[in-house]
A and B are shown apart, each in its own frame.
Chain A
Amino acid sequence: MMAGADTTRRLTALIRKETRQMLRDRSNLMVGLLLPIVLNLLFGYGLSFDVRNAPVAVVLEDRSQMAREVTSGLDGSPYIDAIHVDAMADAERLVREHEAVAIVRVPSDFSRRAGAGSAAVQVILNGSDTTTANALEGYIAGAIGTAMQHRADRAPGTGRGGATVIQRIWFNEASDSTWYLVPGLLVIVITLIGALLTSLLIAREWERGTLESLFVTPVRPHEILIAKLLPYLVIGAIDIVTCLAAARFLFHVPIRGSLIVIFLAAMLYLAVSLLLGLFISGKVRNQFEASQISLLASFMPATMLSGFVFDLRNLPWPVWIVSQLVPATHFMPLLKTLFLGGNNWTMLARDSLILIAYGAVLGIATTRTLAKRLD
């Protein structure tokens, strides 16, 4: 039992030391506590894939009643801000000057060809912003389709009916991109804490020579590791709670799964990202390189390769393999499901096991980087 008491005493001393060092540097708290709040606000209010009031130039070369009806849907759309111009040249100029992002052109032969059943509306999109262009294409088609539907409804029985799509979006009925960006933000914030705050911890001690003195004490390598982990777990826990509160009360994202389960799963992922940061720090032993590598190895992939905004389904296999190596990839879908879908126990079990495996491997590997050797 003596050994246990020794361990506890050493751990307490080390944890006190790490906590003090963490609290004494304002930059730690800025990134640890303030940055998550800033990100919450930016993600919640700033980031959206939902196009609103996109300026669209409308050119009616056919001034018939029918042509006006076709484009009337554009005027009512919340997504589109129709700008009526007289000539195609004006519309093209607007697009070139980025005053409009698309052109809807009803050609002069529109009503004539409509009689023959081959009417066409031309839509020109500025492809240099593909995200907006892609979304806008759907909105324009929808607006024109709806207008045509109304017209058809007023003159029924003139032919065969059409198939209509009655669409229901599960998990996100309003199709609001904030709903999936905000849970994703939690993943990003946790990854950030791990990548930034811990990646310098061991490298700094190597560079400043403090490890040599620390090594030749009764301290065990895993005690150093645990002491470096704990204070940041606390910071991370505060951030998780902050994010959950913001999601619930500020952005009104539904939290359909159990809060406890979400919190525990997030803590598990937090431990994995902290360990990844520590591992890089211990392996590289150089602050400059550790900071860059951790950013490249954890944060950027968590944003781009985890399924945060971009679907992983159609990745070429080499890229897919890389994406599967990223811990965030195994947490992102779980968290989105827990938020929007509810408790999914099979998914929870599978992803938790993967994360635990990551944590174990990284924990052992990091402890090895702290083996008391200088050679």
Chain B
Amino acid sequence: MPAFRLFWRQISALIRKELMALIKDPSARVLLLAPPIMQTMLFGYAATFDIADVPYAVVDLDRSAASGELLARLDGSGLFQREATLASPSQIAPLVDRGDVLLAITIPPDFAAKLEAGQPAPLQVILDGRNSTTAGMAGAYLASIVNGFNRDNAGSGATGGVEIVRRAWFSPNLESRWNILTGMVAGLAMIQVLMVAALSVSREREQGTFDQLLVTPLTPAQILIGKAVPSILVGLMQSTLVMAINTLWFHLPFNGSLVLFYFGMLSFMTSAVGIGLAISAIALNMQQAMLYTFFVVMPLMLLSGLITPVSNMPEFLQIATYANPLRFAMDLVRRVILEGAGLSDVAWDFVPQLGVMVVTLPLAAWLFRHRLS
């Protein structure tokens, strides 16, 4: 079909040109490759709630065999790091204030005596709540150690000690960095995909090449496709980079199908590009394109489950996230990578993304034509 061949020829020329414009300058190439690599490495290490060696201080007013054993358990757990052994509870405040310790334990003088008497023996624990999530984590560690202490010291026939046998599917050690690492596969790429798509038209407007493009027989639809494809490729490339670092460096499993993963990413990038192109059609210059992009990016990131789970949000915001393709891309990535989910498990993740595409792409095309006159 000659009409189709002509159509394809024109589009492929445009795609080639857009790709060259993106990767021609060495600095532009660096900007496409370095950010996902650097961010994945940095944030992979930084974005974790798991704290090894919780720094703590202790005030042991009991100095009994029992208190000694409890502290030995803490120090030997590998989870706690004793920073200070204090004589009086009044010395705790400055250490916590300065952030030198996250947790302080006061063992009252009658600790051993109460244990011996079969009474509850309270431990006074102070946590630094300036980050209540970390504090909660440290509190949970402490509770599990105290639990073990109780179980081993309770006499036979005790009913208090029920062992909780924990098993985590898909992530045996429940490493909290896995959450960010899988989230970044879609999230990091989205930022640049949106920006590349949003700036692609306004950059031509500012440099005066847009008119030159418009006098060619290229139709608005062709121009849109020609601008969309390179952005999508950029996104897929970045997702692949993050994915590779995840598996090769951070040793995340890849349990699902690679084909399904890329199919999901393709669908996600297309819907993100739809948003980007709609922005580019609205923006008159690069500054506007960039600022509008960020106006959109921030809520998309925050309402995606990248940092905090969507299920913790109030109902109305959970409903709002249905307009957020990133939320479903993240869900899809986590399910496919970690859970080994198949197409039937994640099919519903595609629906909202398709919805976004169906709205944004025609909108971009319409705005495009509308703006021309």
Contact = CB atoms under 8 A, between A and B. Distances in A.
Interface in A22-62: 25-28, 30-31, 34-35, 38-39, 42-43, 45-52, 54
B130 to A, nearest CB: 5
B45 A319 contact: yes
B124 A149 contact: no
12 contacts: A25-B288, A30-B295, A51-B311, A54-B311, A122-B164, A130-B171, A148-B162, A163-B149, A166-B122, A167-B139, A180-B129, A336-B130
A123 B295 CA distance: 42
B309 interface: yes
A312 B42 CA distance: 12
B213 to A, nearest CB: 18
Contacts of B150: 162-163
A207 interface: yes
B124 A166 contact: yes
B136 interface: yes
A134 B295 contact: no
A314 interface: yes
Contacts of B206: 207, 287
Contacts of A156: 118
A159 interface: yes
Contacts of A117: 154, 156-158, 161
Chain B interface extent, by class = 35 or more
A137 B172 contact: no
A315 B123 CA distance: 30
A300 B34 CA distance: 14
Interface of B: 27-28, 31, 35, 38-39, 41-43, 45-53, 55, 70, 96-99, 102, 111, 114-137, 139-140, 142-144, 146-147, 149-150, 153-172, 174-179, 182, 191-192, 195, 199, 203, 206, 283, 286-288, 290-292, 294-295, 298-299, 302-303, 305, 307-309, 311-314, 317, 334-335, 338-339, 345
B131 A309 contact: yes
Nearest to B140: A138
Contact of B163 (A95, A121, A315): A121
A121 B132 contact: no
Chain B facing A: main interface SS? helix
B179 to A, nearest CB: 5
Interface in A144-193: 144-145, 148-149, 151-152, 155-173, 175-177, 179-180, 192
A24 to B, nearest CB: 11
Interface stretch (A266-274, A290-298, A361-369): A290-298
A42 B163 contact: no
- The listed residue with most A CB atoms (<10 A of its CB), out of B31, B122, B302, is B302
A313 B140 contact: no
A118 B151 CA distance: 9
A144 B126 CA distance: 23
B345 A96 contact: yes
Interface stretch (A9-17, A217-225, A243-251, A337-345): A337-345
B18 to A, nearest CB: 13
Interface in A98-137: 98, 101, 114-115, 117-135, 137
Nearest to B320: A46
Contacts of A171: 128-130
A354 to B, nearest CB: 15
Given A114-B162, A131-B179, A159-B154, A165 B51 contact: no
A79 to B, nearest CB: 10
Contacts of B171: 127-128, 130, 133
Given A25-B287, A137-B140, A165-B142, A131 B309 contact: yes
Contacts of A173: 129
Contacts of A168: 124-127
Contacts of A162: 115, 120-121, 150, 153-154, 160-161
Contacts of A287: 206, 286-287, 290
Contacts of A311: 49, 51, 102, 131, 134
Contact of B166 (A54, A123, A333): A123
- The listed residue with most A CB atoms (<10 A of its CB), out of B35, B39, B45, B127, is B45
Contacts of A149: 160
Contact of A124 (B132, B142, B156, B168): B168
Contacts of A292: 31, 35, 192, 195
A133 B192 CA distance: 30
A142 B156 CA distance: 23
Given A121-B162, A170-B96, A319-B45, A179 B116 contact: no
A127 B337 CA distance: 12
- The listed residue with most B CB atoms (<10 A of its CB), out of A28, A167, A179, is A167
A292 B183 CA distance: 20
A122 B172 CA distance: 14
A343 B60 CA distance: 30
Nearest to A142: B143
Contacts of B308: 46-49, 131, 177
Contact of B312 (A49, A169, A192): A49
Nearest to A323: B46
Contacts of A47: 302, 307-308, 312-313
Nearest to A132: B309
Nearest to B35: A296
A42 B162 contact: no
Contact of B299 (A42, A49, A170, A316): A42
B319 to A, nearest CB: 12
